Amino acid sequence: MTLVQAIILAIIEGLTEFLPVSSTGHMIIGSALMGLEPSPFVKLFLIVIQLGTILSVLVLYYKRFFQSVSFYIKLVVAAIPASILGVLFNDYIDAALESPLVVAITLVLGGILLLFVDKWFNKPKVDQIEQVNYKQSFMIGVYQCLALIPGMSRSASTIVGGMTQGLTRKLAAEFSFFLAIPMMFGASLIKLLKFFKDGNTFTGEEIQLLVVGNVVGFIVAILAIKFFIGVLTKYGFKAFGWYRIVVGVIIIAVLASGHQLNII
């Protein structure tokens, strides 16, 4: 992996991680266009640069993290379902992740769903994080399990889950951002432990790539979150739904033409 490739992937990660468009689907397109091989470091890189995007949430919403202990308990409760299923079905998830067709189909189906979400859940009652109870937090966590299907998007799953529980679009999106912190930190830690357990080590150049990737991801994620909240509050999900459909169709068309897409 070159420095330019690392920066491009970090930009893709920062732009798509918190948007309901599936960062996995975009990584497929980006890595395929760059001809990147799925080496152990590349696989690690794509997970660990999420730490930079996590930091962007902490910076933008730092005041929220000093409110109450119940705020943290809600995040833990919401993280439980996907954490358990992720461990139990890890092999099946990895197998599905190796199929670009699965990702493409899920992108399209998820996009179709987003076209109607605003009409289905148009009477929100909860607009403050303090009003979210533990049952609602758990149900949002249940919806997050859908994100274990590659291409579904963790952000889309949890935001829709929040809206089913009566949260406003804005609060559902913010809760999704907060929930990303324990999930992405845990995924990064597990990936790092596995990387070293398999006997791998970092070169000086690889450390540089990780640092640059996280810095770029952090900056881009801050811009993406601000953009997303503005668009979501004013226009809703329809534009993101059509965007997902277009990306999914592009992947299907590329596969139908006989080209191979490497999942990294």
Q: What is the pLDDT of residues 36-83, one digit of tens each?
A: 777 788 878 888 888 888 899 999 888 888 778 889 999 999 999 988
* Nearest-angstrom CA–CA distance, 245 and 113: 10
For residue 117, how many C-alpha atoms fall within 13 Å in the half-sphere facing its CB?
32
> What residue segments make up the domains of the chain, in order of their start?
3-256
Confidence at residue 148, expressed as pLDDT on a 0 to 100 scale:
82
Confidence at residue 49, expressed as pLDDT on a 0 to 100 scale:
86
DSSP 62: G
DSSP 152: S
Percentages of the chain per state (helix, strand, coil), in multiples of 5: 80, 0, 20
Confidence at residue 96, expressed as pLDDT on a 0 to 100 scale:
55
Q: What is the pTM of this model?
A: 0.85
Taking 70 as the pLDDT cut, the residues of the chain under it are 90-99, 259-264
* Nearest-10 Cα torsion for 126, 227, 140, 65: -80
